Chains A and B, each alone.
Chain A
Amino acid sequence: MKAQVARIMDLSRTPPLTESVPQPAASIVGLSKRFGQTSVLENISFDVAEGEALVLLGASGSGKTTILRIIAGLEQPYTGKIMLHGKDVTELPPRERGIGVIFQSYALFPKMTVEKNIGYGLRIRRRRRKEIKNTVNELLSLVQLEEHRKKYPSQLSGGQQQRVAIARTLAYNPEVLLFDEPFGALDAQTRVHLRREIRALLRKVNVPAIFITHDQEEALELGDRIAVINVGHIEQIGTPREVYNNPASEYVATFLGAANILEGTVTGGHVVVGNAQMPARLLNDRFQEGQAVKLIFRPEDVLVSKNQEFPTGHACLSGGVVEEISFVGAYERLRIRLEASSGGCDTSDTPFYLTTETPERSNAKPVIATRPKPESNAFRLRTGDRVFLGLSSFTVLPNDVRTSATSHSVITTSKQ
């Protein structure tokens, strides 16, 4: 088994993570696409490194599937080009690109057995019978389907079908693997199990992969990097940690997990959020006096306290009143209305303090906080309790009409 895996690994191209700057396995340069007058993709560019898994994350209709189909050659771009290991393949038909596509429906050939499906790529390349047999055997053991080799796709479970689909593409050493909503057709439990399996498999075979998904949890777990796509352009591209912790736009912040968004302005070197102020030393000079900004933070970054004492690294935001407590299984979710009258934070040592001006705005918007079980058990809360909110990390973004990744005037002030 080990030897067989090793053989398949041999087939993959250059080893990953070389010291010199490696040539990307795939480069997508300035891609755009129009259907008639409607522009569905604008200036999409990204690289996929050797052995890397990149996730294109976006809502349905964001254009992510179109990107995948253009890379596969199933659709033509309006402008831009596709490079695979330095070779321009934009003009090539799908069959000459050497790309492995795992379709959402798996698209296994229904009249072929598992082994015929896997060997298809080699049969049409007119490889020798013995070579085909060996490769198919290796792949069958790699995806652990040896005992199902004579079965037809309709006799397999969804997860097994998916493994056949992957093995079928690995058979001809694809330059890159494209996964179109790979877990869309599966139930929640199988999904989680399978994506771990696929992640492990990809590490083993070391083929670069591009995933398409609308599921943020899936994206965070599968991707070495995530590209968030919104209405035809890339909002942000980065590691799961970067994209989640330092969202470049409000869209990214809200699409990946929950986010609290408070509106504020830059006033006198401070960001004034309602009646909370953030000292200017946290701000970059990209923000101008009077500029409208948004303060963005995640529910799990909110620390709830009875007094104003927070561990170091936390900034006191404001006082507030607990409006609603809901139990969501793994954690407790609180809805807290910010209230200036309930008392502000000390101004002495913390970056935030309350001002008395314009309390209406902050009162209008409740903040969502989540607490893990140990914390909610140690410090029980009831509706109506007065509390103080601290933030362990937050992001400030310009409050444009259209906040997009193209404006790089984004700074993050995570203080962890």
Chain B
Amino acid sequence: MRHVRGFDVVRPLSIWMLIFMMMPLVFLPLASIFIFGTSSGLGNFWAALNAPEAIFALKLSMVTSFWATTFNVLFGLFAAYVLSRYNFLGRNALIVTISLPTAIPTAVAGFALLLLWGPYGTLGRLLRPQGIQVMFTAGAIVLANIFVTFPLAFGVIKPVFDTMSRSLEEASATIGATRWQTFWHVTLPSLRGAIVSGALLTFARAVGEFGSTILVSGNLAGRTQTAPLYIFAKFNEGQIEAANAIAIVLALFSFLIFSVLFFARDWLDVD
């Protein structure tokens, strides 16, 4: 009996069922961060957040994620341009390789970086006598972030490139623009939406990165400890409030980014 006197029963039932299913899986875990974090008063929360190591961890996360994002957006633009404009042997292999890092477990990614850049790694061994250390620095965190977020910006930008009408660029060329002018005035503005959402995705993913970071950073408080590592460390030390304060910040942050992505889509792609 689907309808009771013209009232569709399935509709409210299915909506409530969906919400009910998401409760223990998503809503309650998120809610508990906020409930627990504020249970001993906002003052405690604020104090936990203002601990020097906490502030450092948040800053380090932002800075390393920023550089990783900058690199990956520029790289993604370049790679998308090359791979959608030119057809060559091995093109598909390159596309698969670029997309691969999403499928690799982050711990494996961190481990791979260690094996390359670590003190006894393939390249690290050669750099050590020069006094250059890559691993267990902020640079290592950026490298790990770049690796795990590698295909995100590319993946958003390339489809836009693929569907972009060539006649816009051809028109620009016949009007008298150089390749660079065409790219700057015509191609890039059409990619604005894709670039912004690609950057936001990359940044959100990089800020939360844990598996690879913990391997390559050394997890040194106040030096190479990012926000997710800080949460892990404080939890291990039994300082639940300290861990919780940062957890709230990260949760709010990702919530913010995805709101922007969701609501600003139309604005970003406005013609």
A: residues with CB less than 8 A from B are 72-74, 93-101, 103-105, 107, 109-112, 120-121, 123-125, 152-154, 168-169, 172
Contact = CB atoms under 8 A, between A and B. Distances in A.
Contact of A94 (B168, B173, B189): B173
Interface in B147-191: 165, 167-168, 170-178, 181, 185-186, 189-190
A107 B171 contact: yes
Contact of A111 (B165, B173, B174, B189): B189
Contacts of A101: 170-171, 174
Contacts of B176: 95-96, 98, 121, 124-125, 172
Going nearest first, the 9 A-B pairs with the smallest beta carbon separation are A107-B171, A111-B189, A107-B167, A94-B173, A154-B271, A110-B271, A101-B174, A121-B175, A94-B174
The majority secondary structure among interface residues of chain B is: helix
B271 A152 contact: yes
Contacts of B167: 103-105, 107
Interface of B: 165, 167-168, 170-178, 181, 185-186, 189-190, 192, 271
B190 A111 contact: yes
Contacts of B175: 95, 100, 120-121, 124, 168-169, 172
Nearest to B171: A107
B170 A107 contact: yes
Contacts of A96: 176
A72 to B, nearest CB: 5
Contacts of A169: 174-175
Contact of B173 (A74, A112, A152): A74
Nearest to A72: B174
A125 B177 CA distance: 8
A72 B173 CA distance: 10
Contacts of A98: 176
Nearest to B181: A124
A95 B170 contact: no
A60 B214 CA distance: 62
A98 to B, nearest CB: 7
| Residue of B170, B171, B189 with highest tally of chain A CB at under 10 A | B171
B237 to A, nearest CB: 52
A73 B271 contact: no
